[in-house]
Structure 1
Amino acid sequence: MKRFLSVLFAALVLLVAPPSLAMAQQLTVSAAASLTDAFKEVGAKFEATHPDITVRFNFAASGVLLQQIRQGAPVDVFVSADEQTVTRGVDAGLFDAATRRDFAANTLVLIVPAAQSSPVKSMADLANPAVQRIAIGKTSTVPVGGYTQQALEKAALWDALAPKFVQADSVRQVLDYVARGEAEAGFVYRTDALLMSDKVTIVQAVGGHAPVSYPVVAVRASREPALAKTFIAYLLSPQAQEILKRYGFAHS
């Protein structure tokens, strides 16, 4: 009898549930780790203007997210911190190339712990024997690592500094290593450094690499293709661009 009443109660709840709840759609967005803070606000604003839609974010290194999608992860929209990762996905037939848009840009910077007196005033100082650990993103999966390698190779420093590298799984992990003083220096995006301006100091903006551009694209296997396109369009809207600007991103 108790079981019957429980089933009956559950059925009644479904019958009286608000129509908006029954019709709610969920959009799953896999996005580069450096977008975490900005996208949480962007997602909230998007949901406010689309009350029947819930946005679920998955943040990680762009290469890791691509691997997840290759393995069948249910994702509607993919957002990368580099162009190459999206191109690999397009070539593999994972993404709808027609929906690809660049919506933001960033700057690679060299940082040091704010709490420590550092001998690092420029990239050349990384060769100083006092600098024993340099945090970088894994070059195979973390876009900031790829940009870092390009910049250091351009400056003819990559091979000489290689023994000092501490490789991280995301740009946020690089930031944490430097903020905690576990590395004497590291390479992150300007937007990440600004989030911990009390714990890390920007030494210089770094050049000699491909532009740091953020492309967004719809996943071919998406169960919500129309909704994915709606979200992509929103990222290019003045409202979303204003949020991104406040977090330090430039318009692409």
Structure 2
Amino acid sequence: MAPSVLIVDDDPLIRELLQSYLEQEGYSVRCASTAEQAEACLEEHPVDLVMLDIRLPGKDGLTLTRELRVRSEVGIILITGRNDEIDRIVGLECGADDYLSKPFNPRELISRAKNLIRRVRHSQQPAGLAPAGQLRQFDDWTLDVDRRRLIAPDGGETLLTHGEFQLLSVFLRNAGHTLSRDQLMDQIRNREWLPNDRSIDVLVGRLRRKLDDDPANPRLIITIHGTGYLFGAPVSGRP
């Protein structure tokens, strides 16, 4: 089945441009100009990925992101202006998986959509379909790699967003080693970024909350002041 995408933007030129890029790659694309139209569309036509502008008329993109994340595992990529750093940070805190800045690079757009949809579809597989050996254990927690779920010591499960999963995976692969923000950004975003970009700090904060890791005295994701972060727990299992 062709990957499905919903584009939500009040600018018809942006909608047409994104739709053209995606349809050329074989994606099934629907469009909406408001959050309300997007919600109605999603009720009738569930999709793998939502690409939405932060600055929508009426209900804005950040509010829609927060509401979608509460009830859905759909992939979410925010569309932002080049200088909308604060909105990008808030969007990640609301549960967005990634963001794209205008103007778009078509290759980057397709690459990010493809990678996120693959992760979303893997996470929706029934537990019994996950290959053996795809569990990583640390400090009584377990990361189910294929399903992108974090299993707590009491057995409860939490879905990780794409960005959270990528960051935790990097930490687990490099447990015991200090990683700078530059190194983390390179590994999870694979893009050029500005020195003041706080995306990594936002994702670390979200991961700490899901891991019950006290930010004032963290045991798992430890801040190395002036440098970056270190994952402080031993890790077992194969990546």
Instruction: Give the TM-score, by structure 1 length.
Output: 0.28
Bigger RCO of structures 1 and 2 (CA < 8 A, at least 6 apart): 1
Larger Rg: 1
Which of the pair is proportionally richer in helix? 1
